[in-house]
Structure 1
Amino acid sequence: MDMDAAYSNSDHVPDSADYPPRWTAEAEAFRAKLGPRAELDLPYGDHPRERFDLFRPEGAAKGLAVFVHGGYWKAFDKSTWSHLAAGPLARGWAVAMPSYRLCPDVRIAEITQEIAAAVTAMAGRVAGPVRLAGHSAGGHLVARMCAPGMLPPDVAARLARVVPISPVADLAPLMQTSMNEILAIDAEEAAAESPVNQPAPQAPVTVWVGGAELPAFLDQAERLAQAWGVEWRAPEGQHHFNVIEPLAEPDSALTRALLS
């Protein structure tokens, strides 16, 4: 099997290059429209990328929803996804989105620790339950937050739902891709950082993946759901890029799943 092709979402999705600039424009417009309810570049660490944006609803928040972006741990930052907060925000939830340092400057294990620090800092700013969603590499990262001892006990106890979207749940296959020149995953890290190797979490989990995604991503999602004994959903017609867009809609199935 050509592992590069198996994990190349850009080659699989028509007009894939059009998505990031459109998302970035929509995210910028969303932040501008939100005005003072958008608190930007809040720190959770010392590095310039260790920052998060916090979007507050009108009135008291019901709790905190977090979205962690993807990009194979080597691309993007928080500024491309702000508009995806619109769905939970309209339903009364505060929404936070972190940036994090990228490979090859850091290892994936270090990024995992950064997200744990980010979630902890975010939870310190918003009372109530915490719900985590992440896409692709971000799906891996929010799934890792379910590991025992990853989050402080008081934060872990607040996890009300985790939704890994199109997650990379087993890192071992990526060792056979050319992108591993950047990721530098070895066998030890693949074993330690793969959510499929974690015990079933205490928090409720819904694994989500587009029904029209590459077979490798459908397999990754199914294997994580089976390993943890949780439900997984694969909406028909959704691919790796548009699968996250329903988060911008208050009544979408994905938004309901995150807030259920």
Structure 2
Amino acid sequence: MTSQAEHDDAWANAAHIPGAEGYVARWAEAAEAFRELHPPEVLRHGPGARRDVDLFRPKGATKGLVVFVHGGYWLRFGPRDWSHLAAGALAEGWAVALPGYDLCPAVRIAEITRQIAAAVDVAAEAVAGPVRLAGHSAGGHLVARMGDEGLPLACRGRVARIVPISPVADLAPLMLTSMNERLRIDAAEARAESPVHQPRPDVPVHVWVGADERPVFVAQAKALAEAWEAELTVEAGRHHFDVVEGLEGADSALLRAVLG
């Protein structure tokens, strides 16, 4: 029988990435430097300190809106840890929104899903044109959930592409980890909130994952791509912490997947 420690290790990213301890500080530094050059417009999608949306607008005409949803196992981080990831789309003439959301255990994952739907609508009200959704890890789960026709997403008709990056597509295995003391996923929520159990969205979906990620993340990405008959890229040489770096570069394959 597999122990809880083994389940924990299967989902542990930092323990298997050389130099992992330095990434968070570098992200924070890069994000702050980006905001100094591009101060965001701050929108609100509900009460509470975490319900902000940082909106970066390009100079000149706007092609549309990219929404990037951060990860952190629904337990940590906020949009201002990732501001620099707006760089690529912004340089290409797209507005970029990074929504915040309440974290577990203060709320359940289903509530976070509803908050992200509200945040996407608030950002879409502020920016005309098509909407692209991208998210990493838990954020990949959340943007995948936006494909659910049952969610109250007012801008649904404008969503033109969804790119889950290293997504958690099936929540059930997390019930076996120690994280679940804070996530509080039960069988009903695992079923309802897992994109692999939802119908394929009626928009193009491109699932992205790093080839050097933990095997469980590669398996989750492949499972979602198979369930939704979606395009899948397993990017060589990328692990869970650097797989999103392509969003910073206007000429990257990942950004091309998001913008189409």
Structures share a fold, TM > 0.5? Answer: yes
Which residue number in structure 1 is paired with residue 96 of structure 2? 95
Which amino acid is the alignment partner of residue 23 of structure 1?
W
- CA offset at residue 20 of structure 1? 1.0
- Amino acid of the structure 2 residue aligned with 1:136: S
String of CA shifts for 1:1-44, please: whole Å, max 9, x gaps: 41101000111111112111101110011010124xx213x211
Residues 118 and 153, structure 2, Cα contact 8 Å, conserved in 1: no
> Residues 68-87 of structure 1 correspond to what in structure 2 (within 5 A)?
68-87=69-88
- Identity score, percent: 60
**Corresponding position of 1:31:** 35
The secondary structure found in structure 2 opposite 1:150 is: coil
Q: Which runs of 5+ in 2 are unaligned?
A: none
Secondary structure at the counterpart of residue 200 of structure 2: coil
* Matched-pair contact (CA < 8 Å) for 1:120–1:151: no
**Alpha-carbon separation, structure 2, partners of 1:149 and 1:60:** 33
Partner of 1:9: 13
Q: Distance in 2 between matches of 1:17 and 1:256?
A: 30
Alignment match, 1:167: 167
Aligned letter for 1:3? H
- Is this contact kept in 2: 1:131–1:160, CA < 8 A? yes
The residue correspondences of 1:98-247 to structure 2 (distance < 5 A) are: 98-153=99-154, 155-247=155-247
For 1:250, the equivalent position in structure 2 comes to 250
- SS at structure 1 position matched to 2:123: helix
Q: Distance in 1 between matches of 2:183 and 2:150?
A: 25
Tell me if the contact between 1:69 and 1:78 (Cα under 8 Å) persists in the aligned partners: yes
Q: How many angstroms does 1:152 deviate by?
A: 3.0
In the alignment, residue 11 of structure 2 is paired with which amino acid?
Y
Q: Secondary structure at the match of 1:105?
A: coil
1:89 is aligned with what amino acid?
Answer: L
CA–CA separation in structure 2 for the residues paired with 1:16 and 1:184: 27
1:184-225: CA deviation from partner (whole Å, max 9, x where unpaired): 100010000000000011011000000110110000000000
Deviations 1:129-171 (A, max 9, x none): 0000000000000000001131435x11111110000000000
Q: CA deviation at 1:51?
A: 0.7
1 CA distance for matches of 2:38 and 2:111?
32
Deviation at 1:75, TM superposition (A): 0.3
Instruction: Tell me the distance in 2 between the aligned counterparts of 1:139 and 1:175.
Output: 18
- Cα deviation for residue 61 of structure 1 reads 0.8
- Give me the whole-angstrom Cα distance separating, in 2, the residues matched to 1:148 and 1:83: 31
State the match for 1:59 in structure 2: 60
Structure 2 residue matching 1:224: 3-state secondary structure = helix
Matched letter for residue 13 of structure 1 = I
